[in-house]
């Protein structure tokens, strides 16, 4: 979900335009067109729409374990990502989908683009083991 465009330094201008009271779902990280542009809504309404689209695209059932990634596109602050995650958690709880490991932050950004993405990974035993690996890189650490 995007609220503002990114400005690629070499180009020096916005990669797309979006109204001050608009948001776009399905935006590509480099400004590729999304699937729908709508009127700006609340964070909870945005998350509801995003999760409905995710659940329509892939089957999740009660008892499934998932990992959730809530990603800032660059300009969205961590506090707002946690507001979104709270709603995601409520939706998953209502569907009896268990969140094994949430990741909330800036993982794949597009300069100072305002917006966020939600990724859900359905887990099995092997994927859970992989998510538990210790990671120590310059851009991602996990004890």
Catalytic residues: 30
Structure tokens at 49: 């729409």
| CA pair distance 64, 54, nearest whole angstrom | 15
CB distance 68 to 103 below 8 Å: yes
CA-to-CA distance for 36 and 52, rounded, in angstroms?
14
């Amino acid at each position: 979900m995007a609220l503002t465009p990114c400005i690629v330094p070499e180009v020096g201008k916005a990669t797309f335009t979006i109204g001050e009271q608009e948001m776009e779902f399905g935006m590509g990280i480099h400004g590729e067109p999304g699937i729908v542009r709508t009127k700006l809504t609340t964070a909870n309404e945005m998350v509801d729409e995003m999760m409905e689209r995710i659940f329509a695209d892939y089957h999740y059932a009660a008892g499934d374990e998932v990992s959730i990634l809530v990603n800032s596109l660059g300009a969205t602050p961590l506090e707002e990502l946690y507001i979104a995650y709270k709603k995601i958690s409520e939706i998953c709880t209502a569907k009896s989908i268990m969140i094994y490991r949430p990741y909330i932050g800036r993982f794949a950004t597009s300069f100072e683009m305002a917006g966020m993405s939600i990724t859900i990974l359905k887990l099995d035993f092997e994927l859970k083991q992989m998510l538990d690996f210790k990671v120590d890189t310059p851009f991602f650490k996990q004890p």
